[in-house]
Structure formats: structure tokens, C-alpha cells
Structure 1
């Protein structure tokens, strides 16, 4: 388990995204409580988190012989995008591929949309050049277009595919557009928490599905924030002490060992089969 507490709703999101989608996207409340007990989340906390996820439109109630919840069809594209970011290419972007630039202007009467745009662009991995001007590696252009359109924010934004030409030291400038220390702190926290787990698992010849599940869900929940906050900038623009490479290698190692037995445990508890 991670040292810092993870919200029950975040852990439930991970369970749905990693396991329940390939098993049909539904689970009974009773079985979900069993799974969450393995993560030290009790029944009342599960029900409270489910209520919040229902209000946010992520889960919908559905009875299949027992009371339960399924993923709302509207959020499937969000989870699909998450798969691409979390499990897709972890290599740094190529500087020659250029940049995606977002320029927005929001009327004062709709300033809540300004906050939404800043928050969402940060979450997509964009760095802030100046007021209303944001930058990311070009490979994030499609995700930005899809996300902003889905959230109803596209009317406020111009998206450009661009190239850097001159005049400043680009590496020095990039360090002011992204909060590198904050990103590195999260990578360090992940490595500090899960490097001992990897060492322990390497020493074991096998791992029980139940134990794999207890490690995997918090690990994936902590990790899945990072591919959004870190846009995968070109290597030549990063600080020399950039610690993402070791953290990514650790994530890949743990995912390879823990994902499959964790899925077996979920199938044992729920009786669900692949959809």
C-alpha cells in the first residue's frame, strides 16, 4: 500500500478501469465491498464513494440479480484515453515532431470556464507560457482536441500544431513553463513507496492473486496521475537529474508481475468473465 492515503473513489475508479471494463463494466455492491476491504476501505466508505461517483456521472445503478453499479457509457472514452496515456508509449517525445499550442480567451462573464481550461490543460500535460497560451508536445494534440470538445470548452480555444524557431534558450524556458520540481517529487514518492515492493516480489517465486491485488490497485492509482502531469518532453529539454525514467521502469516491472494475478483475484471474487 502507498504511504499516503488514497481516496476510496480513486481506488474504485482504478478497479473499474483496470478490471471491470474487460469483465463487462458491472459489479455488485457486495462484491465491490469485498474487494475494497482488501484495500482497507470499509463498507460505509465504499457506499459513500459510490454515491459521489454516481453524482459525477461515472457510475450508474443496475440490478443484475443483485444491486450493483456499471460504468456510465459516457465515461468509456475517458477510460480509453487513460489507457493510452498510462500504458502507451512511455518514451520522451521527439523534439523534431514539434508542439501543440492552445490559445484561449474567455469572457469575464464566463470565468469559470477559464478555470476549467487551466485545470484541464494542466491535467493533459500542457505547460503555461503566459496568460492564455499553453504548450505541449505535438503528440498530445489529438487528446487535447477530443477532451476539450467533450467538455464543451472547444469554442474558447484555438489549437495549433507549431515548431519552435527562435530566440531564447528553449531548455531554460521550458523549465519555467512546467513545474519540474513538483513532477519529480511525485515520481520520487512513487519510487520510494514501490521500489521496496518490487524488491520483495523479485525475491518471491510466486505471488498469490489476493496479495497481487492489494499491491496493484494502490500502485496503479498512484501512478496513473503521472502520465498526465508529465507530458513526456523531449529528453534534451529535461533536467539532468530527471527521475522519470527509473520510475517508469519500476511501474512497468510491477505491472508485468501484478496485473494478471490481480485480474484472476477479481474474477474469483465476482464470478465475472471477460465480456
Structure 2
């Protein structure tokens, strides 16, 4: 588990509901649960500041971290993918992107591919990507962020004449491989769910253990954002493991949420010039209103 990835998890699961800014000492204590040293954390913070994902300010001899607008967008995009209800009905339109990155900016090519994959697009041919989801705003925002408006064309079409919808999906994604990865997640966590239910009943579940388990659970489940395009349900193959994995994730998250949030509150400290913000309901149940 890398510090940068964990920070996005901490901000998305907890810190955003408590004012959005955190004392570095609190981050150090959170990272210690996962054997990440203070020096590793500070190195990751420096890199995230340089990449414009994080900003840090000092008050006296203490430092406080918060996400930049770019970092907040990345976090919110991830939260929406993890916690929102999957669209069951396809609107019948493909969003197709064609881009050509100038040679003098070729260093952006890998970044754009990563951004499109993260957003949920699949590459159907060289420099041509497609998605059945309404992602127009995200694409236009990405083009603006990287100053590529003149080099990206975005189409919305109800038909692709040369291929069936199933063939387009097959070109863009390996659903069999993704389903197999979901099957592994299910296999790893089904037993833990039964164990946690029993511990909940007998009161042997510590708040600190729940904080660690919830963080690992979200970290593991969030990996699917990089491979699963979140296709509408009516475009998915029958018996899609992603639906079962999502239900299992929700049930585990609900068991862990209250005690893990209480443990976070014992660690979290906000800046002295900020009014304390406590939105435990949203931290406990991030599925609400996403």
C-alpha cells in the first residue's frame, strides 16, 4: 500500500467529511497503522504537492494538508465510481474520443491513456477510445486541464455501423479477466464477512482493527476502478461477478463503518483557525447521496 494511494483513501473516506484539511501529525499516525514511515509519507506529500494534488500550509510549527482542486476532482471521481448506484439502463449512446497529441508534447500520451482508462473508456483502436457512459463533462474537463482542446475530438453516437455493441465492448475491455479478478476478491472476502458478523454480535471487534480493515477493503476494491469500465447493467454478461463483489463490499463496509470512524476521530486534528466540522453520518455511510 503506497502513501499516495492511502492518502486519497483517507481523504475520501474520512477527511473530506471533517473539513477537508488535516494536521500532518494525524496523517503520520494513520500511516503508521500500515507500517509507512514518516519519511515515506513526507516524500509522498512533496511529490503530490509538485503534481498539484495536495497543498500544505503552516501554522506555527505545524503543517496542515488538504487537496487541491485537481486532487479533489480525482478523489470525487473515484468516490462516485465506488459508491454511486450503477446505471442499469444504457441510454443507447456511445461516447467516442479521437485524439492526436503533438510530437512536442508526447510526454502526455501515457498520462492521457491513464486518465481515459481511469475514467472508464476502453481503447477500441489506436488513439480511439469509447464508453457507453455519460462522461462528456469529465472528458472536456480533462482536455481543458491538459490544454488539449484543439487535439481531442469527442463524438456522441447511437450507432457504430461496422461493429455490434458486443464487439465494441470486446475490443475495449477483457470482461472475462475482470470478472476473474472480481471472483478472487469475492473468494478473499466472503469468509471475512461471516467472521466479522460473528465478532459484531459478540462485541470483540476493536475500533482500531475496523479502521485498518475498512482502509484495506476500500483500497482493494478501488483497484477495480482501473480495470472495470462500470458498464450499464444491460450491457454486462450474465452472471457478472462485479455485481456480487459490489454487494459484498457494501455489506462489509457497513459492518466496519461506525467503529472505524470513531477510531479516526481519536486521531484527527484540524487546523486551529478552522471551525471543527463533524459529519459522522457521511463518513459512516458514504453511499448516501453520491
TM-score (norm. length: structure 2): 0.81
- Alignment partner, residue 3 of structure 1: none
Q: Deviations over 1:114-163 (max 9, x none)?
A: 33322221121111121222110132222222233223333311112211
**2:85 aligned residue (75, 81, 89):** 89
CA distance in 1, matches of 2:111, 2:198: 46
Partners of 2:213 and 2:9 in 1: how far apart? 12
Q: Which residue of 1 aligns with 2:192?
A: 197
Deviation at 1:236, TM superposition (A): 4.6
In the alignment, which of 81, 97, 104 is matched to residue 99 of structure 2?
A: 104
CA contact (8 A) 2:122 2:130 kept: yes
Shift of 1:15: 0.9
- Structure 1 residue runs of 5 or longer lacking an equivalent are 1-5
- Give the Å deviation of 1:57: 2.3
Would you say the 8 A contact 2:186–2:245 is kept in 1?
yes
The alpha-carbon distance between structure 1 residues 247 and 261, as it changes in their structure 2 partners (threshold 3 A), is same
C-alpha RMSD of matched pairs (Å):
2.5
Report the 3-state secondary structure (helix = DSSP H, G, I; strand = E; otherwise coil) of the residue aligned with 1:152: coil
For structure 2, the 5+ residue unaligned runs are 271-275, 279-290
In 2, Cα distance between equivalents of 1:274 and 1:109: 46
Distance in structure 2 (CA, Å) of the matches to 1:56 and 1:35: 22
- Equivalent residue for 1:69? 64
The answer on 1:32 being equivalent to 2:27 is yes
The answer as to whether partners of 1:97 and 1:138 remain within 8 angstroms in 2 is no
Tell me the residue number matched to 1:265: 263
1:80 equivalent to 2:76? Answer: yes
What displacement does 1:102 show? Answer: 0.8
Residue in 2 aligned with 1:243?
A: 241
Match of 2:146 in 1: 151
- Residue 185 of structure 1 and its aligned partner are, at CA, apart by 4.2
Query: Is 1:212 equivalent to 2:207 in the alignment?
Result: no
TM normalised by structure 1 equals 0.85
Contact 1:8–1:49 at 8 Å: present in 2 too? yes
Call closer, same or farther: CA 1:144–1:261 in 2, change over 3 Å.
farther
Contact 2:23–2:269 (CA under 8 A) maintained in structure 1: no
Q: Give how far 1:31 is off.
A: 2.1
**Number of corresponding residues:** 269
Please say if residues 183 and 230 of structure 1, whose CA atoms lie closer than 8 Å, have aligned partners that are also in contact: yes
CA distance in 2, matches of 1:200, 1:47: 36
Q: Mean Cα displacement is larger for which, 210-219 or 258-267?
A: 258-267
Separation (CA, whole Å) in 1 of partners of 2:183 and 2:40: 29
State the distance in 1 between where 2:143 and 2:216 align.
29
Moved over 4 A (4+): none
Note the C-alpha offset of 1:179.
2.6
SS class of match (2:240): coil
Partner of 1:233: 231
Superposed counterparts of 1:102-141, under 5 Å: 102-141=97-136
Paired residue secondary structure (2:105): helix
Q: Which moved more, 1:197-206 or 1:43-52?
A: 43-52
The secondary structure found in structure 2 opposite 1:22 is helix
1:214 deviates by 0.5
Change (3 A) 1:106 1:29: closer
